[in-house]
Structure 1
Amino acid sequence: MTGSPSRPPVGWLRRFALLGALWVPAGLLAIGAGWGLMAHYQHTPLPGVVTARTIEISSGEGFAAIAHELEVQGVLGRRWPFMLLAVLEGKTRRIRAGEYRLMPGLTPQKLLDQLVNGDIRLHRLTLVEGWTFRQVRQAIQGHPELEQTIDDWRGESVMARLDRPGHSPEGQFFPDTYLFARGTPDWIVLEQAHRRLRKELASVWRTRDADLPLESPEALLTLASLIEKETAVSSERPQIAGVFIRRLRLGMPLQTDPTVIFALGADFDGNLTRAHLRQDHPYNTYRISGLPPGPIALVGRAALEAAAHPAPGRAVFFVSRGDGTHVFSETLEEHNRAVNCYQRRLCRGDAP
């Protein structure tokens, strides 16, 4: 005769149920405590970032190695909580390589977000209005955070690489501050500055005054470079543009000293003489009619706008006061008086 199935004693069942009833809340409490500790860790400033510092994440480096290096460098107190945070958020495979600037008060959560978002440190290179191509080259070659990749800096080689063969590199880059990551190839910045120049020039050319005696955007760029070198006073740029435009219309030589200085190049010692003004050179506007063959310097937006929208008036002469401003004259007689006053220091009571 088969007996009935054996059953656990009622006492054991009760004890098991009681134990389970205790374990579930204890587990929930443990989980809650763990989340609380993690939340506290996430938003507590890292002890190793009390002052600004820089770290670098190499391309192809695994997350465990990254966390270990951050621990070794003292950024993290211990790497395990940071690794757990990244695992819980599913971000271990989303870290981006680059150079990072860590600022005081940085928390583990903000550090993780910074590494995932690729908020890398950017370096600066400033190209200045009025610079020549030689100065552009020196600035790029002298920047320690750019990777030097350009082997041939000859103007014809650079312009051929920019798909503008036969053009001079002078004035072909827009003056501005360019941001880039450490290790960016030098060519990237140079190409960016050239593209920006072409964009700015095209924009200004489309809105130029309709009656300008300028046949192309390149002519406007050349004129703007003369304006850029003649004055740093923004209010005078349209006036100087007006003088040059009227001279072009009248067939008068532009007679602007910066073109002579540009023609002299490295031979210019700071003293411009009458002999220099008489030298034959394609850029010497005392010897040629019209505009020189191309720009002589980097041109900012304000000079481009002045060339495109010259101020109205009748002046065809101007001379420097020696303080950065100029005296504008309609007649040669007025101009000679201004020259005697401000250039030859012969001012009397009738000073312009």
Structure 2
Amino acid sequence: MNVNPLRVVTAIAVWVLLMTAASGYYIWSWLNTPQPVKLPDSVYVIERGSSLHSVAQELNSHGLVRWPRVWVGYARVLNLSNIKAGEYRLAQKESPVSLLARFQKGEQLQHQITLVEGRTLKEFLNTLHRHSKIQRTLENKTYDEILAELGLTIKHPEGYFFPDTYRFIRGDSDQGILLRAYLRMNEVLHQEWINKAEGLPYKSAYEALIMASIVEKETGAAFERKQIAGVFVRRLQKGMRLQTDPTVIYGMGDSYKGNIRKRDLKTPTPYNTYTNHGLPPTPIAMPGREAIHAALHPASGNTLYFVAKGDGTHQFSSTLKEHEAAVTKFQKKRRSDYRSAPLKQEPVTEQSDSTIGESKE
């Protein structure tokens, strides 16, 4: 039997082409077929410095990329090998192609953290450092060292960081978030300062910031902010001492244990507004926009005193006699946990948003 060599070669060529086509179709189908994602919270992290090959091997171990070399080859042929490090929230099912596209775009998982009005810088830092996704670069540093790290030339950092909810991605630093808060505070303070009421006893926007921090600490009910600001503004205008407990507490520092005694009110510190006239030298906390607005738009009237009722609101008085009667009525005996305004609750800091692209405020 004679075999035509040409027919044999042709048959082999056809067979090879068919097999190649079949293999190509099978590979293409695999590349585009979603697989169930079986990862905790569907989160996958590409560490900095990871190679495409190492990522492929790890994805293979999670059952997401059956053929790591094919996935790497596909990425390199199409010039898609420049994946971005970061933390990714994956869909319930992902194909090798969708994974590659996600890592190319850098659609990283966003987290958020809330810095609360009325907190101090020390408390802001504690909040930031409790979040497991934030890089702690300012831990155990002095205020002077923190200002140097942030590149700020201000003398004292208290009050300069705007309380708000900030979004960030895994690996962002406390330094970066604080710098955003600083820039935001400057923006808000400038906007409020240029629209301030007339006849205020402030020489600068910084003095208004100091007043706003006191208003923030004294306010339990939001609708009282302007009334409280009005009392303090009138006291300044009349040359009266502010006599506000939160400034004394701030001046006591770590020695404050939750209770103010009479001797504390008489102990001189730069922040004791019972012994000193005028504003304290710096803010005593981080005020929100509403407190800044109230300090620059205080309520008119003739009240010069207020005392906490114990329900978050205050009794306002115009004369010392009225004030003393209110003190007798509402505060014959202060509890050890007394505050003129209730503490705001600390929010949950470990919060994450769905993937929405680049980090934004």
TM-score, reference length from structure 2: 0.78
Could you list the per-position Cα deviations for residues 139-159 of structure 1 after superposition, in whole angstroms to 9, with x for gaps in the alignment?
Answer: 334443333333762123323
1-structure distance, mates of 2:140, 2:57: 42
Q: Aligned partners of 2:67 and 2:37: how far apart in 1?
A: 10
How many Å separate the matches in 2 of 1:140 and 1:127? 8
Note the 1:12-51 alignment, pairs <5 A: 38=28, 42=32, 44-49=33-38
Q: Are 2:40 and 1:68 aligned?
A: no
Instruction: Confirm whether residue 284 of structure 1 aligns to residue 272 of structure 2.
Output: yes
Please give the residue correspondences for 1:6-17 in structure 2 after superposition, counting only pairs within 5 Å.
Answer: none
Asked if 1:341 is matched to 2:336, the reply is no
Match of 1:215 among 203, 208, 212: 203
Supply the distance in 1 between the matched residues of 2:190 and 2:294 (Cα, whole angstroms).
15
Q: Which of 307, 311, 321 is the matching residue for 1:323?
A: 311
2-side partners of 1:32 and 1:204: how far apart?
69
1:234 aligns with 2:222: yes
Distance verdict in 2 for CA 1:223–1:35, change over 3 Å: farther
Q: Is the 8 A contact 1:156 1:166 kept in 2?
A: no
In structure 2, the residue matched to 1:189 is 177
- Given the superposition, is the C-alpha separation of residues 152 and 270 from structure 1 closer, same or farther in structure 2, using an over 3 Å criterion? closer
The alpha-carbon deviation at position 81 of structure 1 amounts to 6.3
Could you list the per-position Cα deviations for residues 258-317 of structure 1 after superposition, in whole angstroms to 9, with x for gaps in the alignment?
011111111112221222111111111111111110100111111111112112222111
Q: Given that residues 174 and 193 in structure 1 are in contact (C-alpha distance below 8 angstroms), is that contact kept between their aligned partners in structure 2? A: yes
Question: Which residue, out of 37, 41, 52, partners 1:52?
Answer: 41
| Residue in structure 1 matched with residue 284 of structure 2 by the alignment | 296
Deviations 1:47-70 (A, max 9, x none): 234762322223343333322221
Per-residue deviation at 1:71? 0.8
- Counterpart among 300, 316, 332 of residue 312 in structure 1: 300
Query: Shift of residue 337 of structure 1?
Result: 2.1
| Aligned-partner Cα distance in 2 for 1:323–1:116 | 54
Provide the rounded CA distance (Å) in 1 between the counterparts of 2:148 and 2:232. 31
Alpha-carbon separation, structure 2, partners of 1:331 and 1:260: 23
- Kept in 2, the 8 Å contact 1:50–1:104? The answer is no
- 2:311 partner SS: coil
Paired position in structure 2 for 1:201: 189
Q: Highest Rg: 1 or 2? A: 1
1:115 Cα deviation after fit: 0.8
Contact 2:37-2:90 at 8 Å conserved across structures: no
Higher RCO by CA contacts (8 Å cutoff, separation 6 or greater): 2
Change (3 A) 1:236 1:77: farther
Q: 2:136 aligns with which of 148, 162, 167?
A: 148
Contact kept? 1:48, 1:77, Cα under 8 Å: no
What corresponds to 2:245 in structure 1? 257
Partner of 1:122: 110
Is the contact between residue 36 and residue 92 of structure 2 (CA under 8 Å) also seen in structure 1? no
Deviations 1:20-65 (A, max 9, x none): 9xx7xxx89x9699669846853x4322347623222233433333
The two structures have a TM-score, normalised by structure 1, of: 0.80
**Distance (Å, rounded) in 2 between the aligned partners of 1:252 and 1:235:** 25
> Does structure 2 conserve the Cα–Cα contact (< 8 Å) formed by 1:45 and 1:105?
yes
- Aligned partners of 1:152, 1:267: CA distance in 2, in Å? 19
Asked whether the equivalents of residues 64 and 96 of structure 2 are also in contact (C-alpha less than 8 Å), the reply is: no
Distance 1:161 1:83 in 2: 41
Residue identity matched to 2:305: F
- Shift of residue 343 of structure 1? 1.0
**8 Å Cα contact 1:47/1:76 also seen in 2:** no
> 1:66 and 1:166, CA in 2 relative to 1: closer, same or farther beyond 3 A?
closer
In structure 1, list runs of 5 or more residues that go unmatched: 1-11, 346-352
Specify the SS of the correspondent of 2:35: coil
Q: Aligned equivalents of 2:174 and 2:135: distance in 1?
A: 6
Check the 8 A contact 1:243/1:316 in 2, yes or no. yes
2 CA distance for matches of 1:54 and 1:164? 37
Instruction: Give the distance between the partners of 1:151 and 1:342, measured in 2 at CA.
Output: 42
